[in-house]
Structure 1
């Protein structure tokens, strides 16, 4: 298992990911931030994957970010949590650079706030799904929420 976190599906360098993007009025950004990270937590928990949310301290925030958190899934193999999602509120910094504005009720131009949530990075989600549903016999239980998309299949059984 040496180097397993440095290569393979855990560390692939190119992958598709699904992002949630919000452009809103400044007074709405706090509520949107709370809702976005909760969507990710709910998604993983619906698949019986234990997750936790970690707020990033201000010293760890990347440029432009006002607030950020990571969603981490439990890895039975590693016996620790690993990052599967990231949610950020960029305040008006990105809108300032991109000149994203709206007219307020008085007709004055105001900067929007922007937020983003990497809600699904498929390689990491697949790892969490497989590890948390792997059975002693090598089969993998399909979470109930996914069974309709699997033709009702409840378990993946390896062919030896």
Structure 2
């Protein structure tokens, strides 16, 4: 399936800050489309290889009456940098970078969440404010 990723390579001391920014970007993106979301931090026993921390972003499905995963944000610490030999030049020598990745959006999943959460009783689709300028000012797509 297709997805759009954000990748960060940074200094170790910056990785917690970047992690927070990345997952907040995903949450803000879905909320801007009026899609209710929540985040779930994965416990250490569920983390995939290399991951230090991971958070899943889940969108509400009115049809299924439950949340489903639409994205995920991970901090890999220096594990991936170690495998790829990605180093940062420092005053006291070179040291391993930290890498992070964030699945901002997987279009098929986003489209499902968008349509389900913006579907009106009459079958029309309400257009959230941030998208209206791309829709010629329309606030609804009628049947």
What are the Cα deviations for residues 114-149 of structure 1, in whole angstroms up to 9, with x where unaligned? 000000100011001000000111100010111111
The CA RMSD over aligned residues, in Å, is: 0.7
Q: For residues 141 and 50 of structure 1, what CA distance do their matches in structure 2 show?
A: 15
Say which structure is richer in strand.
2
SS at match of 1:87: strand
What are the Cα deviations for residues 48-105 of structure 1, in whole angstroms up to 9, with x where unaligned? 1100010000000000000000000000000000000100000000000001001112
2:62 is the alignment partner of 1:44: no
Q: For residues 79 and 49 of structure 2, what CA distance do their matches in structure 1 show?
A: 9
1:140 to 122, 125, 141: 125
2:109 to 124, 128, 131: 124
What is the aligned length?
Answer: 143
Q: Runs in 1 of length 4+ with deviation above 3 angstroms? A: none
After TM superposition, the score normalised by the length of structure 1 is 0.88
Structure 2 segments unaligned to the other structure (5+ residues): none
Q: For residues 16 and 82 of structure 1, what CA distance do their matches in structure 2 show?
A: 17
1:64 to 50, 59, 81: 50
After TM superposition, the score normalised by the length of structure 2 is 0.98
SS at match of 1:146: helix
Partner of 1:91: 77
